[in-house]
Amino acid sequence: MQVIEARRIRVAVAGASGYAGGEVLRLAVGHPNLEIGALTAHANAGARLGGVHPHLRTLANRVLEPTTPEVLAGHDVVVLALPHGASGEIAAQLPDDVLVLDLGADHRLIDPEAWQQFYGSEWMGVWPYGMPELICSTSHAVRRGRDLLVGVKRIAVPGCNVTAVTLGLQPGIAEGVIEQSDLVAVLVNGYSGAGKGLKAHLLAAEGLGAAAPYAVGGTHRHIPEITQNLQIAAGADAEPVTISFTPTLVPMSRGILATATGRLTRYWLDRLAADTSPGQADTRAAIRQVWCDAYADELFVQVLPEGQWPSTAMTLGANTALIQVVVDTAAGRIVTVTAIDNLVKGTAGAAIQSLNIALGLPETTGLTTEGIAP
């Protein structure tokens, strides 16, 4: 670690012309230890970065190179901001001593059958998972996901929807507050999560003034990743996790607001039923405290004060997940609402946070909890 800390860390970004790659670059420019090396693209190879990311002024004159292992070689870190299914082949040709962070899904899933079902291509194996705050109940030796990232050379960065839902529900799953077989999540999503591809339903004429669900009925590719995370939080011997997951595009460029609910377990239902009206407040406070305790030491995941609800605007530009949790007594359910910037905490910020841990840097280096308002 002393060798890396004593010199600048040279980073290459593949897929630099996309939204995720551009956000990695925005954060990397402000990171005191990172030096930006090769920038690559596919269709935009040969163009200047300023033509596709005009907001990145200090890098505007950099020319995008083709995405090949030869161009990416010779760096300390390689970030793969490539479409799903495109990272595995490139990563397999990179040296073992290079830290590679995959922002796509190629190395997230443990189960090859789940990968085949939802992605339909060859499974490329699983890498250490880049969610430092993930609660790990499957191992007595590992408390949080960050414990698995120290010193590694391969990291699979989580999906953005996955991050919002996992952070909202995992404390209740890990502590037996909610039933893992009765989970529901409905999300509103900014259009940047769909990437830069030219598709009719992503045009302003179609999207402005409209909210549109997509991948409804258990078809969204993030579902197996969500259930995988929550199963890790529940423990190896827990009953299988199932979730109904429905994302909705709304006319904003960034952000995810995830409303995720779960039915209270019998123990907590009985406590609520046995309480008098004043006593219910105490029980509800005890349930809420589970979330507060889970994130008490997490800088980038914060439970808001009672009565304050998260909004996507509160997290824009920040590596922050803001959470509120309440008990719906009549329905016997927990309701969590989580806001993140899908391009920061949901993607690029998670990559930088995980990079810091892997290289022995302070976890917060180059990242902020301060949002952009109004």
Please state, in angstroms and as integers, the Cα–Cα distance from residue 217 to each residue in 118, 159, 201, following that order. Answer: 13, 19, 19
CA 244 to chain centre: 19
Residues 6+ apart with CB under 8 A from 270: none
Backbone angles phi, psi at 355, to 5 degrees: -55, -45
Q: Which of 80, 78, 81 is nearest to 97 (CA)?
A: 78
Q: How far apart are CA 44 and CA 17, in angstroms?
A: 7
From first to last of the 374 residues of the chain, give the pLDDT tens digit.
444 444 589 999 999 999 999 999 999 999 999 999 999 999 999 999 999 999 999 999 999 999 999 999 999 999 999 998 899 999 999 999 999 999 999 999 999 999 999 998 889 999 999 999 999 987 665 689 999 999 999 999 999 999 999 999 999 999 999 999 999 999 999 988 877 776 777 788 788 888 999 989 989 999 999 999 999 999 988 899 999 999 999 999 999 999 999 999 999 999 998 876 555 678 999 999 999 999 999 999 999 999 999 999 999 999 999 999 999 999 999 999 999 999 999 999 999 999 999 999 999 999 999 999 87
Active site residues: 160
Tracing tokens 């495109």 back to the chain, one arrives at 86
Task: Report the pLDDT value the prediction gives residue 55, as an integer from 0 to 100.
Answer: 96
Q: How far apart are CA 369 and CA 374, in angstroms?
A: 16
Question: Contact at 8 Å (CB) between 83 and 65?
Answer: no
Task: Report the pLDDT value the prediction gives residue 275, as an integer from 0 to 100.
Answer: 76
